[in-house]
C-alpha cells in the first residue's frame, strides 16, 4: 500500500540551484497535484495534471515547472531556487473527490 | 474566486472535551466540502466529506453538516482524545475543469488535546 510516494523527504538548496521533486502514485489515478504549505497559509496549488499529457497552472505557479512523465509520475522542478520557495511541498492524486497525499518534501533554500 | 475561512488556532482542549472548529466558504455553484487532518510529520488525510446541502459527513467520531444557507461546514466531536491532536483543514472543490478536482484550503487549525 505505497499510495503516493515523494522523494526526497528533506532538501537544502542554495539560492540559484535547481532541483526536481519526484512524485509517484500506484493507485492508477488520472489527476495529480502539487501544493505548497506555508505557516498560516494553508495549502496552495502550484500546478496540476488532470490527466496524462496535460498540465495546468494553479494559484502560485511562478518559479516552478512540472512534467507529467506518465500516468504514475508527476515531477515538480525549481529551475533557480529562491528563499521564498522555502516550504513543505505535497503531491496528491485524486480518486474522484478524495485526495491522497504524499508525506511531503521539506525544502529549505538558503 | 473560491475561498475557505476557518477559525484560527491553536486550540487547546482537555481530554473528553467537546470540539468545534468553525468553517465558512465562498464559492460559485455547489461545491463539495471536506475536512482533512494532518498528524505531525505526515501528509493530509481525508477525515470526512459532504457533497450536497444538508449532507452530514462523519468519521472517527467527527461530524460536519453542509449548511448551504449559512455557507458553513463546522467540524464537531463530542469527546476528544489525545490522539486527535493534529492540524485540521477545511477545504472545498467546485469541480471546475474537466477531470480536475482542485481543492481550496483554509489556513488550518492546530488542535492540542491534553490529558
Nearest to B99 among A40, A43, A50 (CB): A50
Cβ pair B101:A94 closer than 8 A: yes
B69, three cell numbers:
444557507
Residue B99, pLDDT above cutoff 60 = no
> What's the pLDDT score for residue B101?
77
Q: What is the DSSP letter of B72?
A: B
Number of H helices and number of E strands within chain B?
Answer: 0, 12
Asked if A104 lies within 8 A of B43 by C-beta distance, the reply is: yes
Locate A2 and state its grid cell.
Answer: 505505497
Cβ–Cβ < 8 Å for A74, A99: no
A66-82 residue pLDDT tens: 999 899 999 999 999 99
B40 at interface of A, judged by CB pairs closer than 8 A: no
Query: Which cell goes with A93?
Result: 492524486
Question: Given the DSSP bridges, would you call strands A10-13 and A105-109 parallel, antiparallel or unpaired?
Answer: parallel
**How far apart, in Å, are the Cα atoms of B19 and each of B56, B78, B89, B98?**
16, 6, 14, 37
Closest Cα partner for B46 from B77, B108, B91? B91
CA dist., res. A60 & res. A80, Å (int): 16
**pLDDT-derived band of residue B9, with 50, 70 and 90 as boundaries?**
confident
Question: What does the pLDDT look like over B100-111, one tens digit per residue?
Answer: 678 899 999 999
Rounded to a whole number, what is the distance in Å from the CA of B24 to chain A's nearest CA?
15
Question: pLDDT at position B102, please?
Answer: 84
Question: Residue A95: which pLDDT band, with cuts at 50, 70 and 90?
Answer: confident
Q: Which helix (H) or strand (E) holds B26?
A: strand B23-26
Rounded mean pLDDT, A30-41: 92
CA distance B106 to chain A (A): 6
pLDDT in tens, B43-98: 899 999 999 999 999 999 999 999 999 999 999 999 999 999 999 999 999 876 55
Cβ B49–A104 below 8 Å, yes or no? no
What span, in angstroms and rounded, lies between the C-alpha atoms of A58 and A45? 5
- Alpha helix locations (H) across B1-115? none
**Chain A residues whose beta carbon lies within 8 Å of the beta carbon of residue B102:** 33, 45, 48, 58
B28 in contact with A, Cβ within 8 Å: no
pLDDT above 90 for A8: yes
For A20, half-sphere exposure in the C-beta direction (CA atoms, 13 angstrom radius) is: 11
Rg (CA), chain A: 13
Q: d(Cα B67, Cα B52) in Å, to the nearest integer?
A: 9
Amino acid at each position: 500500500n505505497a499510495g503516493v510516494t515523494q522523494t526526497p523527504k528533506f532538501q537544502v538548496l542554495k539560492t540559484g540551484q535547481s532541483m526536481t521533486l519526484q512524485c509517484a502514485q500506484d493507485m492508477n489515478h488520472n489527476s495529480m497535484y502539487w501544493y505548497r504549505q506555508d505557516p498560516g497559509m494553508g495549502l496552495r496549488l502550484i500546478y496540476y495534471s488532470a490527466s496524462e499529457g496535460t498540465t495546468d497552472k494553479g494559484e502560485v505557479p511562478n518559479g516552478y515547472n512540472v512534467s507529467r512523465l506518465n500516468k504514475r509520475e508527476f515531477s515538480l522542478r525549481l529551475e533557480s531556487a529562491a528563499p521564498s520557495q522555502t516550504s513543505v511541498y505535497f503531491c496528491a492524486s485524486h480518486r474522484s473527490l478524495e485526495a491522497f497525499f504524499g508525506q511531503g518534501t521539506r525544502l529549505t533554500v538558503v | 474566486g473560491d475561498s475557505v475561512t476557518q477559525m484560527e488556532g491553536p486550540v487547546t482542549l482537555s481530554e473528553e472535551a467537546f470540539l468545534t472548529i468553525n468553517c465558512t466558504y465562498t464559492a460559485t455553484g455547489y461545491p463539495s466540502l471536506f475536512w482533512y487532518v494532518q498528524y505531525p510529520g505526515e501528509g493530509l488525510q481525508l477525515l470526512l466529506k459532504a457533497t450536497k446541502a444538508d449532507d452530514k459527513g462523519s468519521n472517527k467520531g467527527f461530524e460536519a453538516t453542509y449548511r448551504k444557507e449559512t455557507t458553513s461546514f463546522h467540524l464537531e466531536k463530542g469527546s476528544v482524545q489525545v490522539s486527535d491532536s493534529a492540524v485540521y483543514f477545511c477545504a472545498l472543490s467546485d469541480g471546475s475543469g474537466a477531470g480536475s478536482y482542485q481543492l481550496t484550503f483554509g489556513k488550518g487549525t492546530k488542535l492540542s488535546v491534553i490529558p
